[in-house]
Structure 1
Amino acid sequence: MYLICGEALFDLFGADTSGTSVGFDGRIGGSPFNVAMGLARLGEDAAFFGGISKDVLGEKLVGKLRDEGVSDRFVVRSDYLTTLSLVQQDPDGQPAYTFYGANAADRMLTEADLPVFGTSPSFIHIGSYTALTEPVASALKTLIAREHARCLISFDPNIRPTVVADMDKWRRNTSAIVPYTDVIKVSDEDLALIAPGEPVEAIARDWLAEGSKLVIVTRGKDGASAYTAHSEASVPGIAVDVVDTVGAGDTFQAALLSGLKTLGADNRAGLTALDPAQLTRLLTFCTQAAAITCSRRGADLPTRADLEKEGCSLV
């Protein structure tokens, strides 16, 4: 089982309007929520751990988990409200987010809410603002410290300056989490925010030296690179008619976690043993999956059938 931890919210896409009215197209979102949904669409056993409101939007979020086949048995319901994310796009389709979520349900989990497992998950994935904002961030750090010896830990920093503007906090938080992680997926944009001017490969090598087994850096339309202690690989981007890029990174993350299992790298020895050819196949698979999402409105992640239709497979 993959346990995906973090935020669940609604993205509000602003529509073109005139006068004093503002129209929005509301879509279910949240980076970890998307990853859980993406794994389920790829046929994986995924569960979501996060705080979800009892309000109308929260009911829709829980309903979506169930519809997608994501287990909600670790979801914590509360009377706090659902986070809203206002999404604006630049001419290249890159999203910029403004969050309305202080004291919202996804941020208010505590250590008392942490799940207890009969059998530990194969992967625990954390990231984005719930890995930084309190009290949920402390709860998630306790969880990965507790479970690190029994399962693999995946981390996507997914920096959100409109949630917390202080890059020193993001930098310190990332540094605190890295020693507990086995797989790190990070965008070059996020690295530019928390480590401006530092070479990407140098950052990856530092994280590997601190204990991570696989570091992947995504570069949007320019592709992605992967680093282990003994191997590395890069692939170019895939040309696509971009509708928007919302959910592209989450798609890459879901494809990555699923792909590692397919390659037999769902344990630390397997991660360490990945060779350049396997890393290239993995990056290509993830990049193709993300390209499909970029061709759609919102975080509409591909199914296994969508990938097979495009000739995208690891087997």
Structure 2
Amino acid sequence: MPDHGELLVIGECVADIVQLPGEAPRVHPGGSPANVAYGLARLGHRTVLLTQLGADDNGRLIRAHLASGGVDVRTDGSATATPSAAVTLDAAGRATYAFDVTWDLSPVAVAPAPAHVHTGSIGAVAAPGSATVLDLVRSARPTATVSYDPNVRPALMGDRATAVRRVEECVALSDLVKASDEDLEWLYPGEEPDRIAERWLGLGPAAVLVTRGGDGALALLPGGPIPVEAPRVEVADTVGAGDAFMSGTLHALAAHGLIGEGARERLPAVDRDTVVDVLRHAVASAAVTVSRAGANPPGAHELRDALAHN
């Protein structure tokens, strides 16, 4: 595939410790930004992840996993323990998390300058490291496009009013924002997702994408909403589905020349067919992931096959 420049993802890695009844605990590499970086690398993109990892078994496991997909992992060297989460799956494969996370990312020089920066989840809102993340995003914006996924984790968000302010600060720095309907319900209880997305558009992004699980996704742009249905698949679990949606989105945007220097001016005028194509890539990527256990996004050939059959 053509080289679209380096993609930088900033945010946490988390060791997901999954306990199923009658089985020994299993540790899986996780963390929303880490999953997005892994998905992008598997799709053929030069991808750097700036994160924190401890010099422990969980850190070594995650680093090896990311490297196996082609991710260039960089850290600030300060973490003493790798963040972790106890994961519980319900009968439908939906995951809930109990976190043990410290996020105090220190300033790190990133070179060469990336074409695109993605951030979100804990790393973008949890102090004190979130301040470093936002400074890095601001410094990259003159030559890079920016995407953001709040990926709300209520146990780590603090009080709702403070969380909303931090999320909206990230939204205002971004060209593209993706959020699930569950994220929006926690941030703005009782409000319709499309109304929230319209309000977010007014803060600065060119597009806001809202994921709705098995009901597909919706893109809100200045010209109005564009929906897409989700492919029908047998769900193993939903771990990493939103992250695979994000990596599929960025993959398709890159193919259309809509990331990197100069793309910020083109994004608001993108045509409907292009948006539909981006959404099709996104929901297909998520569908592959939910069809198998864990955060296991598709490679480029798997995504092409999924698109061909939907």
Q: State the identity as a percent.
A: 33
Deviating more after overlay: 157-166 vs 137-146: 157-166
The verdict on how the C-alpha distance between 1:292 and 1:76 changes in structure 2, with shifts beyond 3 A counting, is same
Structure-2 residue corresponding to 1:304: 300
The 2-side partners of 1:116 and 1:302 are apart by: 27
Q: Summarize deviations over 1:140-178 as a string: whole Å, max 9, x none.
A: 111112222221111000100122352222211111222
Residues 22-66 of structure 1 deviation map (CA, whole Å, 9 limit, x = unaligned): 721111111000100000110111110011111122122222222
Alignment correspondent of 1:172: 165
Query: Counterpart of 1:279?
Result: 275
From 127, 130, 138, give the equivalent of 1:134. Answer: 127
In structure 1, the partner of 2:78 is 78
Partners of 1:258 and 1:231 in 2: CA distance: 23
Question: Which deviations, in whole Å up to 9, do the C-alpha atoms of 1:225-255 show, x marking residues without a partner?
Answer: 0122224310112221111000000000001
Greater than 3 Å deviation, 4+ residue runs: none
What does residue 254 of structure 1 align with?
247
Gaps of 5+ in 1: none
Is the 8 Å Cα contact of residues 98 and 163 (structure 1) preserved in structure 2? Answer: no
Moved more, 52-61 or 212-221: 52-61
**Aligned residue-pair number:** 302
SS at match of 1:48: strand
For residue 64 of structure 1, what is the aligned residue in structure 2? Answer: 65
Code of the aligned partner of 1:43: G
Which residue identity lines up with residue 305 of structure 2 in the other structure? Answer: K
Opposite residue 62 of structure 1, the aligned amino acid is R
1:114 corresponds, among 108, 120, 129, to: 108
CA RMSD across the alignment: 1.8
Does 2:231 align with 1:238?
A: yes
Could you tell me the TM-score, scaled by structure 2's length?
0.92
Q: Aligned partners of 1:57 and 1:312: how far apart in 2?
A: 37
Partner of 1:40: 41
Is 1:203 matched up with 2:196?
A: yes
Structure 2 match to 1:5? 10
3-state DSSP class of the match of 1:217? strand
Asked whether the equivalents of residues 20 and 88 of structure 2 are also in contact (C-alpha less than 8 Å), the reply is no
The alpha carbon displacement at 1:217 in A equals 0.4
**Where does residue 14 of structure 1 map in the other structure?**
19
2-structure distance, mates of 1:312, 1:54 = 43
Which residue of the partner structure matches residue 150 of structure 2? Answer: 157
CA contact (8 A) 2:280 2:307 kept: no
C-alpha separation in 1, matches of 2:85 and 2:59? 14
Tell me the TM-score normalised to structure 1 length.
Answer: 0.91
Contact 1:159 1:170 in 2 (8 A): no
Matched, 1:290 2:286: yes
Question: What does the per-residue CA deviation read over 1:75-116, in whole Å, with 9 as the maximum and x for residues that have no partner?
Answer: 223351011111112222211111122x3xxx1212xx3224
Q: Give, in angstroms, the shift of residue 7 of structure 1.
A: 0.6
The answer as to whether partners of 2:151 and 2:183 remain within 8 angstroms in 1 is yes
Contact 2:10-2:49 within 8 A present in 1 as well: yes
Check conservation: 1:122, 1:152, Cα contact below 8 A.
yes
Post-superposition shift, 1:312?
4.4
Residue of structure 2 equivalent to 1:50: 51
**Partner amino acid for 1:290?**
A
Match of 2:264 in 1: 268
Secondary structure in 2 matching 1:206: helix
1:181 to 174, 192, 210: 174
Letter in 1 for 2:58: L
Equivalent position amino acid for 1:4 in 2: V
Q: Using the TM superposition, name which of 303-312 and 133-142 deviates more.
A: 303-312
Number of the residue aligned with 2:89: 89
* Contact 2:148/2:176, CA 8 A, preserved across alignment: yes
Do the aligned residues in 1 keep the contact of 2:34 with 2:49 (CA within 8 Å)? Answer: yes
Partner of 1:229 in structure 2?
Answer: 222
Q: Distance in 2 between matches of 1:288 and 1:296?
A: 13
Instruction: Give the conservation status (yes or no) of the 8 Å contact 1:292–1:302.
Output: yes
